[in-house]
Amino acid sequence: MLFPLVRDIRSLSPKNQDVTVRGWVRTRREMKNLVFIEVNDGSSLTGIQCVFDRGGGGNAGAGAGAKEGNTAGTLAALGTGASVEIRGRLVPSPAAGQDVEVAVSEIAVLGPAPAESYPLQKKHHSLEFLREIAHLRARTTTFGAVARVRSNLAFAVHRFFRERGFLYLHTPVITSNDAEGAGAMFRVTTLDPSVKPESGYGGDFFGRAAYLTVSGQLEAETYACALSRVYTFGPAFRAENSNTVRHLAEFWMIEPEMAFASLEDDMDLAEDFLKSLFTAALEDCARDIAFFDKHFSGEHAGKGIAGTLEEAAASRFVRMTYTEAVRELEKAADSFEYRPRWGCDLQSEHEKFLTEKVAGGPVIVTSYPKEIKAFYMKMNDDEKTVRAMDVLVPRLGEIIGGSQREDDPLKLSRRMEELGMKTDNYFWYLDLRRYGSVPHSGFGLGFERLIQYVTGMINIRDVIPYPRAAGQAEF
């Protein structure tokens, strides 16, 4: 049987029942004969206060972890970070901010955490320092909250698609598509690194060059063109050498793909999806979001994190074409490091300007020049722009990138040839257009960018347990 978590114990009613609290000591203070021990097991933003009365009948040390009743020894080992099993009665708490506390009858220290070496002694550590002890940072309030929001929103992603008839699809992590253009790839090989392959990669494990996937989209398209609505939710890998606060080398991406769907359908889906995730964060993670709102609202001018999410969830996202966006940017050309120019990709400073200054909230930009977008996007009638859409949000810039896919086999193969791609390798992708082709659309949401947005964490390395980036693969 699973034992009750701190989260469950905190909400127990009626009070005055016997409980056992298992967790790690967050803080311990003493006042006269009373020892106040805050214990958390990570199931709740705040732990539960356990009060041991040295003068009372409590028996520190007699629990499961200790052979002999040794009150002094147990109390000495009861420092921050120690794991404990505490028995007692749940009683109404006189302290502010909590309904209940535990009047302790028995304490057992399962694993002490010596104060001289345990790195999480102080109440506040910098995020930079905590990144160096990523194996312990989940024990802090902030990283516990990030982990709970991540888990709840992952669940909300599945719920959203399931309710709308999308099938959850597992696309391969190892792939031989090398020209998607989404980002630099990591090669997967079993060849001896000291021997240069004489004749390509024929002798390699897969008999050809193989890579870690940058996106499951192309494979997802094949299933959308059979099962109508699918989505992937898996890791993507990009050998990004840019050291930014919004890029990782390994991140999680959600990629819905719909058949019989236009770019407008795609934008509607993206907007509904984000709003439902913002609402899920507010409803399913209310206490954690309130914590981020209080401590990480810095960059959310005025409204705070919760206010920003509420407003975005209730708003209608502004939609504009790339051409309109560039015109807006040109009006403020002097305020940018990079001059906005039609034909150039939007820089992150431009994306932020459009959301923060022009729209005051999320923006969907459509119809980008074909040169700055991927080969598979459907060409507009002007033959210059493609049916692409990016969803931009304040603070972060791009959070979603999507498009209607080219469904005309001739136009698609012509575009691939223009770009010097080997169409032979993509026979299967072209087959979708040769046999029963349908208009279809989809997008990719970076899960970590979503978590950054809803928590207010500035650095993407702080919203994934073990970030992988250039020069960083520890743990």
Q: Exposure string (b/e) for 32-45, b if CB count within 10 Å is 16 or more?
A: eeebebbbbbbbbb
**CB 109, CB 37: distance < 8 Å:** no
Using the minimum distance from each CB to ligand ATP, give the nearer residue, 66 or 236.
236
Query: How far is CA 157 from its chain centroid?
Result: 11
CA distance 418 to 391: 28
Query: How far is CA 259 from its chain centroid?
Result: 27
Give min distance, CB of 321 to ligand ATP, in A.
18
Give min distance, CB of 64 to Mn ion, in A.
53
Using the minimum distance from each CB to Mn ion, give the nearer residue, 216 or 401.
401
Long-range CB contacts (< 8 A, 24+ apart) of 97-101?
A: 97/46, 98/10, 98/46, 98/48, 98/49, 99/10, 100/9, 100/10, 100/12, 100/15, 100/48, 101/48, 101/49, 101/50, 101/51
Using the minimum distance from each CB to ligand ATP, give the nearer residue, 21 or 274.
274
Binding site for ligand ATP (CB under 6 A): 182-183, 238, 240, 247-248, 251, 253, 398-401, 444-446, 448-449
Secondary structure (3-state) at 460: helix
Binding site for Mn ion (CB under 5 A): 401
Give min distance, CB of 282 to ligand ATP, in A.
21
Angle between helices 447-455 and 304-314 (to 10 degrees): 120
Query: Of ligand ATP, Mn ion, none, which one sits near residue 248, judging by CB under 5 to 8 A according to partner kind?
Result: ligand ATP
Output the CA–CA distances (angstroms, integers) from residue 256 to 148, 172, 259, 273, in the order listed: 24, 15, 10, 10
Give min distance, CB of 240 to ligand ATP, in A.
5
Give min distance, CB of 248 to ligand ATP, in A.
4
User: Which residue is at the shortest CB distance from Mn ion?
Assistant: 401
Query: Of ligand ATP, Mn ion, none, which one sits near residue 433, judging by CB under 5 to 8 A according to partner kind?
Result: none
Edge-first strand order for the sheet with 187-188 is 174-175, 210-212, 187-188
**CB 307, CB 300: distance < 8 Å:** yes
Using the minimum distance from each CB to Mn ion, give the nearer residue, 23 or 401.
401
Using the minimum distance from each CB to ligand ATP, give the nearer residue, 251 or 278.
251
Query: Of Mn ion, ligand ATP, none, which one sits near residue 350, judging by CB under 5 to 8 A according to partner kind?
Result: none
Show the CA angle centred on residue 370, arms to residues 367 and 376, nearest 5°.
95
CA distance 166 to 227: 9
Give min distance, CB of 243 to ligand ATP, in A.
11
What is the identity of the amino acid at 143?
Answer: F
Query: Of Mn ion, ligand ATP, none, which one sits near residue 400, judging by CB under 5 to 8 A according to partner kind?
Result: ligand ATP
Query: Of Mn ion, ligand ATP, none, which one sits near residue 253, judging by CB under 5 to 8 A according to partner kind?
Result: ligand ATP
Using the minimum distance from each CB to ligand ATP, give the nearer residue, 24 or 429.
429
Q: Residue 27's beta-bridge partner residues?
A: 38
Give min distance, CB of 213 to ligand ATP, in A.
12
Using the minimum distance from each CB to ligand ATP, give the nearer residue, 274 or 412.
274
Query: Of Mn ion, ligand ATP, none, which one sits near residue 247, judging by CB under 5 to 8 A according to partner kind?
Result: ligand ATP
Query: Of ligand ATP, Mn ion, none, which one sits near residue 399, judging by CB under 5 to 8 A according to partner kind?
Result: ligand ATP
Give min distance, CB of 337 to ligand ATP, in A.
16
Using the minimum distance from each CB to ligand ATP, give the nearer residue, 21 or 365.
365
Using the minimum distance from each CB to Mn ion, give the nearer residue, 19 or 392.
392
Q: How many CA atoms lie within 13 A of 283 on its CB side?
A: 8
What is the identity of the amino acid at 376?
Answer: Y
What is the identity of the amino acid at 390?
Answer: D
Query: Of ligand ATP, Mn ion, none, which one sits near residue 446, judging by CB under 5 to 8 A according to partner kind?
Result: ligand ATP
Give min distance, CB of 352 to ligand ATP, in A.
12
